[in-house]
Chain A
Amino acid sequence: MLSEQLDQLVEDALGSFKAATNSKSLYDAKVKYLGKSGKFTEILKGLGKLSKEERPAAGKLVNEKKKELEEAYSQILSNLETAELNKKIEGDFFNFSFPGSSEAQIGSRHPIGLVIEEMISILSRLGFAVRTGPHIESDEKNFSKLNFPKDHPARDMQDTFYIGKDHVLRTHTSPIQIRTMETEPPPLRILAPGSVFRCDSDISHSPNFYQVEGLYVDKKVSMAHLKGIIGFFVREFFGEKTKTRFRPSYFPFTEPSAEVDCTCPICKGKGCRTCSNSGWIEIGGCGLVHPNVLSSCGLDTDKWQGLAFGFGVERMAMIKFGISDIRLFNENLVNFSNQFNGAL
């Protein structure tokens, strides 16, 4: 009797639970069957009329059924809630084609800064470390100690800005090499990045441009080392297949001296406008440090030898990024800057 009555009750209850369309009507149904004055409570109360012997089994049965029903309720409620939430957020909308907030824009490094840092990071793997120096240098450190005697025609190659009679805006970062050799004991591997100045201004010359120079001083230093270092650098910077070529040249501070060409990274050496159809592009100069330079810094030339090299940063950046006018570097227009917000 009781068992049938309970089965009927559970069936009815499940029916009305399932019929509920929202959590509210489900709750109402729950109250009706499982509430304080619900149907199960009524039956439990009615158990008092049973005999002592019958009571435990009946009680157990009622509780089992009640638990069964409660579990069913939880399941149905959870389903209903999920459905309700789904319905509620169905209308939420975001147009992912809209631009992101301008507050979250990362800034851009200047291409000159990017290139300098990349050059340094490549060469630092060969043990080179950065040294710096002032823009205004004595004539002595910019010229004399670098084996430019006074009245020497080599000074013609340098169109120099003077500050008074004895000071110049450094025409290369080589004075940093002098400063380092004068103050730090060899062996040395240093890089000298920075601003340099020459009296020249047009589409491919800036009166204030950037260089990275390198100096290596050790017991035995050769042209082959120079080629090794520069070859490595050029492949890292412009790509693995880039080839390097040395051409004999002249700088007062190196002997032998060479100009460095690399296969044009734009046309890969086939010939294009950037390389004037030669397939090669000039990127810097280098050589073995002239003994006069070493001795002007107090180094014993019987013990120490050196090599030095230098690259024009703008030139490297122009080749790397395909920039055709050097003046762009200085205008700092947002339209230009924004193109360099990537990590290199």
Chain B
Amino acid sequence: MKLSLKWLCDHVDAGEFFDKPEILSDKLTDVGLEVEDVIRGAEGLEHVVVGKITKLGKHPDADKLTYCDLDVGGGETLNIVCGAKNHKEGDKVVVAKVGAILPGDFKIKKSKIRGVESFGMLCSNAELGLAKEGEKSEGILILDKDAEVGQDFAKHAGLDDVIFEINVTPNRADCLSHLGLAREVSSLFKLPLKARKSLDESRTKKDVDFTLELLNSKQCPRYMGRAVYGVKVQESPEWLKSRLESVGMNSINNVVDITNFIMLDSGQPLHAFDLDKIKGNKLIISDSKKDESFTTLDGTELKLTGEELTIRNPEGPVALAGVIGGKNSGVDENTKNIFIEAAHFVPSSVRRTSRRFGIETDSCYRFSRGTDESRVHDCLNEALSLALDIAGGELGERTFEEYPDKKEASKISVSKSYLDDRLGFSVDSKRIEEIFKELSFKIISSSSTEWTISPPGYRWDIEIKEDLVEEIGRIVGYSSIPEILPEVKSSPQNDVKSFTLNKKLKEQMIALGFNEAIHYNFYHSKDEAVLGNEILNWLKSGESINISNPLSEDLAVMRTSLVPQLFSNYVRNFKLGNKVSKVFESGQSHVFVNNEFKESGVLSAGIWNDDKNKAPQDLLSDLMGVLESLMSSWKVGQWRAESIVKDALLPSLMHPSLAARIISEGKEIGFISAIHPAKTEGLKVSNNFAFFEIDLNKFFNGKPRPIKYKAFSRHPIVERDFSVTVKKLHSMDEVVKKIKKASGKLFVSYALKDKYSGKGIAEDEVSLTLSVKFQAEDRTLAEEELKALQKKVLDSLSGL
């Protein structure tokens, strides 16, 4: 909402704020009407005045320059050298005196131009910062003959206004007008509201045969209107145009401008019909008919649904109530007789219609936030009064009105102790009552400890006692509220378990050297969505979820896996030159399954390294190490990664020969894979990217598991190496099973020391060197015992 200070002064004497607008803006912000910007029209126009050229001569040393004597008021005459050609003796011009700082930080100083002293500058539109975009200034600005010499130019040009840009919260729609803000200013600064001019009804004309019928008083509790006959539709007078323009509204014609002016002035949207275009001498307020068409003032054709409230004549709709007028009944230059409508429409009705057709007008903005039912008549009269002044004509004798159920003012009771308790500090009873009065609340009953009040018609936001807590609080000032910490009386509570577990897991990933990433919960591109969908289909976990109104088609699908974004992240980073890194994300996946939205925690990790000595297999090995570390710390008993062989559904991101399902304690909980080389083709990134993803709902199930200490032997651990040649795809589990079986209780652990394939070994085989640790619980292992054990192990492996 743009508030013009000049306009505000129509309602309340706020002249003191021209010099100190910040006092007003700070106070408004303090009471909840946040001032976002203050624009001073006179900025850059100090020391700029109206002057009269009393003498004009040629510069002695320059043909193109003139030399002027200027009367700038107060008996002062200035000598100024000027290069323009469009001025003559006797002209009134704009003089920037020494000390002025024109827009663009242009400082005016005393100067010598070709040997002649000059004490200022005659200004053009452009130099004053007033040229419209693209406009070229031709010479200096020549003012009207009757401009007052010596007057500040800003004042002369009406540029001395101050505009406040106010963020009005939805509950304070009463402040979407100058009157509304004037009321607030009046109560805050104890300035009386000025009386309004009343409508002169001394001359009226008999109305044409005309009737009004209100068929939906639920959505339109009050409808009024009155005719003016013989108006002249023309351009608005300057004062009206500049008022509208000062708050950013374009002037259209005098009649339309009047309705807009009243709306901005009093907050009541109005509509003017061309009375002669209303067919059948009848206006009906009722719902639209299904599928009937309606063309708006601006020419948009709409198909109505039967649910909109319309203003209509027997032939069809002439306006969408509170939203926009019809082309068939609008005021134009030929209009002679008008009917001005002032009504109260229910916010939800206007809002639904506005949303349905995507029409946003100043009128529906206000109606959908609420308007003052009690002031409809006053506003109508103010508009009529202006119309008679500006557009001429005669007033119709009858005021049409349908107002079947007058709304009763609400009553709210509140006690001092309640106010004090909720605010957290005590407000003096006298002050409470004073505030009620300052806000024009009607005090129905009062004691020093309890009040029953009734808010004025424009404060329909005041409904319950909590609203009164806020009113007292904001007027006393929120700065008066003390800081008090509540005592902890509730029993200690724990964070929800999944949150705590997730935090631990993230800390582990950080410790393992991974950077945490956070991506959107919807995919960033259609490509990512396609990849995600493949994973979803492969895992058969459900359907993907689409956003009905996405920001763009690229951001339309909720993520089902974090891997596609992780891959994008890899590409983005690699291209920037980050060629070695480890990244993880712990987030949610979203699927639609069994007729429900299902969200599961997911951990996804990716690793890349463009080192020529590294193969994707090395990255997989690193990731397996990460998984191992996680599984062991979360006390997972049995887990393995099971190679995927020939899977037609395999997602295209995954490498058909370097992919596996992660099986933990018999349940599939995720997958691990190197990137499919085809995916990196053309992207100028390396193939060395591998990733895994696990379902955390499954992983966290039954976790955390208790740590149980197990006594350990203090007899020395002995290490022995074993070499064995096995088939490449041979499961390590089997090898280890044999070793364990052969060594019985003496087995501690094993490590893969080396693997070799190539020369000297069959193509489908690999030679492994395992380092196995042995230890006995009750004795130091003797050399002979070890030798026997070694042989037993070797024998057991030979069968592989």
- Asked if B756 CB lies within 8 Å of chain A CBs, one says no
Asked if residues A330 and B481 are in contact (CB atoms below 8 Å), the reply is no
- Asked if A237 CB lies within 8 Å of chain B CBs, one says no
Told that A227-B484, A232-B483 touch, could you supply 19 new A-B pairs with CB distance under 8 A? A107-B511, A110-B516, A112-B518, A134-B597, A151-B368, A162-B548, A195-B521, A207-B520, A222-B422, A223-B423, A224-B424, A224-B481, A228-B484, A247-B29, A249-B34, A256-B469, A333-B576, A334-B581, A341-B515
Question: Which of B198-206, B238-246, B344-352, B612-620 lies on the face that meets chain A?
Answer: B344-352
Asked if residues A337 and B466 are in contact (CB atoms below 8 Å), the reply is no
Contact surface of B with A, Cβ cutoff 8 Å? 29-32, 34, 169-173, 347-348, 351-352, 368-369, 421-425, 464, 466-467, 469-470, 473-474, 478-479, 481-486, 488-490, 492-496, 498-500, 503, 506, 509-522, 545-551, 555, 558, 569, 572-573, 576, 578, 580-584, 588, 590, 597, 599
**CB-based nearest A residue for B490:** A187
Name B423's contact: one of A208, A224, A259, A341 (CB within 8 Å).
Answer: A224
A163 contacts which chain B residues (CB < 8 A)? 545-548, 558, 597
Asked if residues B469 and A107 are in contact (CB atoms below 8 Å), the reply is no
Asked if residues A106 and B170 are in contact (CB atoms below 8 Å), the reply is no
User: What's the Cα separation between A103 and B512 when bound, in Å?
Assistant: 9
User: What's the Cα separation between A161 and B583 when bound, in Å?
Assistant: 29
A167 contacts which chain B residues (CB < 8 A)? 597
A220 contacts which chain B residues (CB < 8 A)? 421
Question: Which of A53-61, A62-70, A125-133 lies on the face that meets chain B?
Answer: A125-133
Answer whether A246 and B509 are a contact pair too, CB < 8 Å, given A199-B551, A208-B520, A332-B517.
Answer: no
Asked if residues A117 and B510 are in contact (CB atoms below 8 Å), the reply is no
User: What's the Cα separation between A247 and B32 when bound, in Å?
Assistant: 6
Answer whether A218 and B490 are a contact pair too, CB < 8 Å, given A223-B422, A333-B578.
Answer: yes
Question: Which of A32-40, A91-99, A152-160 lies on the face that meets chain B?
Answer: A152-160
Asked if residues B490 and A151 are in contact (CB atoms below 8 Å), the reply is no
Asked if residues A333 and B572 are in contact (CB atoms below 8 Å), the reply is yes
Which of the four size classes fits the interface of chain A?
35 or more
Question: Shortest Cβ distance from B581 into chain A, in angstroms?
Answer: 5
Asked if residues A247 and B30 are in contact (CB atoms below 8 Å), the reply is yes
Top-5 shortest CB links A-B: A224-B424, A248-B32, A256-B470, A222-B424, A250-B169
Asked if residues A330 and B550 are in contact (CB atoms below 8 Å), the reply is no
- Asked if A258 CB lies within 8 Å of chain B CBs, one says yes
User: What's the Cα separation between A249 and B470 when bound, in Å?
Assistant: 9
A152 contacts which chain B residues (CB < 8 A)? 170, 347-348
Name B515's contact: one of A107, A112, A247 (CB within 8 Å).
Answer: A107
User: What's the Cα separation between A167 and B510 when bound, in Å?
Assistant: 35
Question: Shortest Cβ distance from A312 into chain B, in angstroms?
Answer: 15
**CB-based nearest B residue for A219:** B489
**CB-based nearest B residue for A217:** B490
Asked if residues B494 and A135 are in contact (CB atoms below 8 Å), the reply is no
Question: Shortest Cβ distance from B198 into chain A, in angstroms?
Answer: 33
A195 contacts which chain B residues (CB < 8 A)? 521, 588
Question: Shortest Cβ distance from A151 into chain B, in angstroms?
Answer: 4
User: What's the Cα separation between A326 and B678 when bound, in Å?
Assistant: 33
User: What's the Cα separation between A143 and B572 when bound, in Å?
Assistant: 38
Asked if residues A225 and B470 are in contact (CB atoms below 8 Å), the reply is no
- Asked if A320 CB lies within 8 Å of chain B CBs, one says no
**CB-based nearest A residue for B355:** A151
Answer whether A329 and B518 are a contact pair too, CB < 8 Å, given A127-B492, A136-B597, A247-B30.
Answer: yes
B31 contacts which chain A residues (CB < 8 A)? 248
**CB-based nearest B residue for A248:** B32
Asked if residues B599 and A136 are in contact (CB atoms below 8 Å), the reply is yes
A311 contacts which chain B residues (CB < 8 A)? none
Provide 27 A-B residue pairs closer than 8 Å at the C-beta atoms, listed in order of the A residue. Answer: A109-B516, A124-B495, A127-B490, A130-B496, A130-B500, A135-B558, A136-B545, A153-B368, A154-B170, A163-B597, A189-B493, A199-B551, A220-B421, A221-B486, A223-B422, A223-B424, A223-B469, A223-B481, A227-B482, A246-B481, A248-B30, A256-B470, A258-B478, A291-B466, A305-B422, A333-B576, A341-B510
Asked if residues A151 and B521 are in contact (CB atoms below 8 Å), the reply is no
- Asked if A23 CB lies within 8 Å of chain B CBs, one says no
Asked if residues B466 and A107 are in contact (CB atoms below 8 Å), the reply is no
B34 contacts which chain A residues (CB < 8 A)? 247, 249, 259
- Asked if A172 CB lies within 8 Å of chain B CBs, one says no
Question: Shortest Cβ distance from A291 into chain B, in angstroms?
Answer: 6
- Asked if A51 CB lies within 8 Å of chain B CBs, one says no
B422 contacts which chain A residues (CB < 8 A)? 222-223, 256, 288, 305
Q: Quick one: CB contact mask for A202-224 with B, threshold 8 Å, 1 for yes?
A: 00000110000000101011111
- Asked if A73 CB lies within 8 Å of chain B CBs, one says no
B582 contacts which chain A residues (CB < 8 A)? 107
Q: Quick one: CB contact mask for A108-124 with B, threshold 8 Å, 1 for yes?
A: 11101100010010001
A288 contacts which chain B residues (CB < 8 A)? 422, 466, 469
A120 contacts which chain B residues (CB < 8 A)? 495
Question: Shortest Cβ distance from B150 into chain A, in angstroms?
Answer: 35
Asked if residues B32 and A249 are in contact (CB atoms below 8 Å), the reply is yes
- Asked if A241 CB lies within 8 Å of chain B CBs, one says no
User: What's the Cα separation between A132 and B548 when bound, in Å?
Assistant: 24
Answer whether A153 and B478 are a contact pair too, CB < 8 Å, given A162-B549, A208-B520, A337-B516.
Answer: no
- Asked if A78 CB lies within 8 Å of chain B CBs, one says no
Asked if residues A330 and B518 are in contact (CB atoms below 8 Å), the reply is yes
**CB-based nearest A residue for B549:** A162
User: What's the Cα separation between A65 and B513 when bound, in Å?
Assistant: 65
Name A334's contact: one of B469, B479, B509, B578 (CB within 8 Å).
Answer: B578
Interface centre among B34, B490, B503, B576 (most CB of A within 10 A): B490
User: What's the Cα separation between A333 and B464 when bound, in Å?
Assistant: 51
User: What's the Cα separation between A165 and B513 when bound, in Å?
Assistant: 44
- Asked if A270 CB lies within 8 Å of chain B CBs, one says no
- Asked if A290 CB lies within 8 Å of chain B CBs, one says yes
